[in-house]
């Protein structure tokens, strides 16, 4: 399946909902104000599509700031290897986001956002420079693949959907404390089917179709999102292998919680078999 189809399935519903929400808001505004808002939105979209407002988008949407001199000094040991294989500055711009996990993410055409936790772990010696280089190089490889080229524009356009999704996640976390709420979510297919049947019986065909769409999206969107994330992981891993940094990324993943996906990535990044040391009895010299 082409990459654009998978990405459209993952983010398409959010774009549609956001477009409807923006259209409703603009329709409620006075004509001149609505026209001015549409004009400003068009200019912002052009700036994001051409990459000119990429830094501003990462700052507003992700809270990522420009890397300071202290950050660059701490990252210097990890940036040597990516720069040698054209996976580092000046081809990309490093920005920093506050966060404890060791992570890096590619955004847009030439931006890589690293967490402050990665910088701290590298400076403290908890993360070897080779493994830090692999984590950053993975994000750069995703950027170079072009799969996230339009993400700043799409994220800005999907802002209403993202706010709604964050609100739903907060309500879901609170609802997990109540067993009946969790059970209702797991059995949402049955609940939606009953609601659709009642709507059709009452003659509300449009409402029934809307409930079918909502129910289908509740099942399909998480699947499409996971599929798209796997595509990004695969693209980054391939870039690391081509750059000769696959072994370092495999070493980093061996430190992470193991799952079937992580083990498959380790094998793809470092297919050479790891021989375990042989253990035997040692006889005392006579």
The whole-angstrom distance between residue 229's C-alpha and the CA centroid of its chain comes to: 7
How many C-beta atoms lie closer than 10 Å to residue 112's C-beta? 27
- Mean pLDDT, range 220-241, rounded to an integer: 92
Residue 286 structure tokens: 């006579």
Interval 93-130: pLDDT, tens = 999 999 888 999 999 999 999 999 999 999 999 999 99
Interval 63-100: pLDDT, tens = 999 999 999 999 999 998 888 888 877 778 999 999 88
Round the average pLDDT of the chain to a whole number and report it: 86
Interval 244-263: pLDDT, tens = 999 999 999 999 888 999 99
> In whole angstroms, how large is the CA radius of gyration of the chain?
24
Interval 122-148: pLDDT, tens = 999 999 999 999 999 999 999 999 999
Interval 43-66: pLDDT, tens = 988 998 888 889 999 998 889 999
Task: Tell me how far apart the alpha carbons of residues 242 and 254 are, in angstroms, rounded to a whole number.
Answer: 20
- Mean pLDDT, range 209-224, rounded to an integer: 85
pLDDT for 22: 86
Q: What pTM was estimated for this model as a whole?
A: 0.83
Query: Residue 18, CB half-sphere, CA atoms under 13 Å: how many?
Result: 18
Specify burial of residue 18 (Cβ count, 10 A radius: 0-12, 13-18, 19+): buried
Give the list of residues 6+ apart from residue 231 with CB closer than 8 angstroms, or none.
Answer: 3, 6, 7, 147
Query: Measuring CA to CA, how many Å separate 272 from each of 237, 245, 246, 261, 269?
Result: 16, 14, 11, 18, 9
Residue 173 sits at φ, ψ, to 5 deg, of: -60, -40
Task: Tell me how far apart the alpha carbons of residues 185 and 78 are, in angstroms, rounded to a whole number.
Answer: 44
């Amino acid at each position: 399946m082409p990459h654009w189809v998978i990405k459209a399935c993952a983010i398409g519903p959010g774009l549609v909902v956001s477009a409807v929400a923006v259209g409703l808001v603009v329709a409620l505004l006075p004509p001149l104000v609505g026209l001015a808002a549409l004009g400003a939105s068009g200019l912002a979209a052009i700036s994001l599509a051409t990459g000119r407002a990429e830094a501003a988008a990462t700052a507003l949407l992700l809270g990522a700031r420009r890397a300071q001199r202290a950050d660059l000094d701490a990252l210097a040991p990890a940036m040597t290897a990516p720069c040698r294989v054209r996976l580092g500055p000046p081809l990309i711009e490093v920005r920093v986001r506050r966060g404890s996990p060791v992570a890096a993410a590619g955004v847009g055409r030439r931006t890589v956002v690293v967490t402050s936790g990665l910088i701290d772990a590298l400076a403290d010696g908890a993360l070897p420079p080779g493994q830090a280089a692999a984590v950053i190089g993975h994000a750069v490889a995703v950027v170079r693949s072009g799969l996230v080229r339009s993400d700043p524009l799409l994220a800005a356009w999907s802002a209403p959907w993202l706010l709604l999704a964050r609100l739903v996640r907060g309500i879901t976390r609170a609802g997990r404390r109540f067993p009946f709420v969790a059970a209702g979510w797991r059995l949402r297919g049955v609940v939606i089917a009953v609601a659709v049947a009642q709507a059709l019986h009452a003659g509300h065909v449009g409402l029934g179709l809307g409930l079918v769409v909502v129910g289908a999206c509740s099942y399909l969107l998480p699947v499409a999102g996971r599929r798209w994330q796997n595509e990004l992981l695969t693209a980054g891993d391939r870039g690391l292998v081509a750059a000769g940094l696959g072994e370092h990324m495999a070493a980093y993943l061996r430190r992470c919680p193991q799952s079937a996906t992580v083990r498959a990535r380790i094998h793809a990044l470092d297919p050479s078999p790891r021989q375990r040391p042989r253990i035997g009895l040692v006889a005392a010299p006579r």
